[in-house]
Amino acid sequence: MRIFLDTANIDEIRQAVRLGVISGVTTNPSLVAKEKHTNYKSAIQEICRLVPGPVSVEVMGQEAKAMVSEARELSTWHPQVVVKIPASPQGLEAISIISKEGIKANFTLCFSLNQAILGSLAGATYVSPFVGRLDDAGHDGMELVAEIVAAYQRYRIATQVIAASIRHPQHCLEAARVGAPIATVPYKVLLQMIGHPLTDAGIARFIQDWRQAQEK
């Protein structure tokens, strides 16, 4: 299983990369807007330099033609850029064009197995089911991830599932249990994944015992 970081914050990315467990980054317009980068293109290029893997960058166009031209432009920014395209008819059309040109797409805002199947048929490299947003709407987001993983395995579909809209560590371990090959997590959740009170207590106890032994 691989872990991507779901952020456009360069400091968070730098710190997470130091841990040696991050193999990609996903951004979206809301995450980027929060950071107020003075130069968007340079910020994405810096993220690509920091991260050893794919960096998803979302198109803003609504029509297939606009999505395609944005995707072509974004893909020139850095070889690691993966273009994020929403799960709409226009998105499918755009992906079916750019995938033939070798541009990698992340089919985002995916909320159903039908969308995931169509995204893979159009040629998406990744599909991103949004777990937390489905949970918020009263559904079981992880059940969708499990369904997509099972369907892709059954039909030997190469599109990779990214469990997205991850809100807490429980989501991460459920994603692992249902066989999601990738989960994209906020920095806060990444730290929660490694944190455990028994580890902290254990370290404190070892230090205390060691010190006491030295004093004898």
Q: At what angle do helices 89-98 and 64-77 cross, to 10 degrees?
A: 50
Structural contact between residues 156 and 163, judged by C-beta atoms closer than 8 angstroms:
no
* CA separation for the pair 122, 120 (Å, rounded): 5
18-57: contacts with ligand E4P (CB under 6 A): 26, 28
Q: Closest approach of Cβ 25 to ligand E4P, in Å?
A: 10
Among 3, 5, 6, 107, binds ligand E4P (CB under 6 A): 6
Q: Are 106 and 124 in contact (CB under 8 A)?
A: yes
Spell out the residues 6+ positions from residue 24 whose beta carbon is closer than 8 angstroms to its own: 2, 4, 5, 51, 53, 54, 55, 56, 182, 184
Decide: helix, strand or coil at residue 62. Answer: coil
Contact of 106 with 127, CB cutoff 8 Å: yes
With beta carbons less than 8 A apart as the criterion, state whether 174 and 185 touch: no
Applying CB under 6 A, which part among 126-134, 137-145, 147-155, 192-200 lies near ligand E4P? 126-134
Q: Which one of 164, 178, 182, 190 is in contact with ligand E4P (CB under 6 A)?
A: 164
Interacting stretch for ligand E4P, rule CB under 6 A, among 33-41, 64-72, 125-133, 139-147?
Answer: 125-133
Choose one: 68-76, 95-103, 128-136, 189-197; the region binding ligand E4P (CB under 6 A).
128-136
Nearer to ligand E4P (CB atom), residue 36 or residue 156: 36
* For ligand E4P, the closer CB: 40 or 213: 40
Shortest gap between Cβ of 132 and ligand E4P (angstroms)? Answer: 5
- Residue among 53 and 209 whose Cβ is closer to ligand E4P: 53
Task: Rule CB under 6 A: say whether 2 interacts with ligand E4P.
Answer: no
Residues 110 and 126: their CA atoms lie apart, in Å, by: 11
> Is 65 labeled as catalytic in the residue annotation?
no
Among 125, 130, 161, 178, binds ligand E4P (CB under 6 A): 130
Catalytic residues: 84
